[in-house]
Amino acid sequence: MPHVTPTDNYLVKLSKDIQNKIVLEGSFLNRQCESIAMVSGQTTFDWRLNVTAGAEKPRYIVLAFQTDKSDNQIKNPAIFDHCDVKNAYVQLNSERYPEMDLQLNFDNNNFTTAYKMLCDYYNHVLGKENCSISLREFKHLYPLVVFDTSKQSEKLKNAVTDIRIKATFNKNIPKNTFAYALVLSDRIFRLESDGNKMNFVY
């Protein structure tokens, strides 16, 4: 956690601002992770996320799968499995992201669409021109499906957001498989002064 030590001159200014009961607003990208045990032996998956959504809407949702790595000390929990996912999308109320099917087949090395979604995330959110994950690493280590939900319809604004993830697979879902969803949302916070100190308010 970075710490900032203000200069003496700025401390005087801060003290005056606190005495004047100022209100400051800030924003940050909130991260919330959800997980669920998947039903094995099926090729379809439908998951409604229990995500708190208010005025701040989800901007990106990262989907990942893991098989037989829960409570297993000999398996690396930092490595994910593609489970030969065929298609996946996020549904915000009635809006779908992306609109087109992904048409993936990891066994046939047909996964560049999902890889480009990850690279776009690196570029737009992390500000990096090149993705640090190679195609080979993406297939065997980090097959993350990143949904860009930042361009939302006007009718979704000021509405309660129902978030669902739907996926289909080329093969049956293996036993002991979990799905993980990382939801990144814009959040607003306020710093309010009572004349003596600043208070943090969501």
What phi and psi values does residue 87 have, to the nearest 5 degrees?
A: -155, 150
**Residue closest to 166 by CA, chosen among 87, 100, 67:** 87
**pLDDT for position 23:** 83
Percentage of the chain beyond pLDDT 90 is: 49
Mean pLDDT is lowest, of 36-45, 53-62, 75-84, 89-98, for 53-62
Q: Please state the rounded mean pLDDT for residues 55-70.
A: 87
Tens digits of residue pLDDT in 116-142: 999 999 888 877 788 889 999 999 999
Place of tokens 């829960």: 70
- For the chain, what are the domain ranges? 32-195
What does the pLDDT look like over 6-34, one tens digit per residue?
888 888 888 888 888 888 787 777 888 99
Question: 54: pLDDT confidence band, cut at 50, 70 and 90?
Answer: low
pLDDT at 72 over 60: yes
Coil, helix or strand for 172? coil
Got the DSSP string for 42-105?
-SEEEEE-----SSSPEEEEEEEEEES-TT-TTS-TT--B-TTEEEEEEEETTEEESSS----B
Give the amino acid at 76.
N
The CATH number of the domain covering residues in 32-195: 2.70.9.10
Report pTM: 0.80
User: 104 with 113: CB under 8 angstroms?
Assistant: yes
Regarding beta strands 85-92 and 163-169, do their DSSP bridges make them parallel or antiparallel, or are they unpaired?
antiparallel
Confidence of residue 185 (pLDDT cuts 50, 70, 90): confident
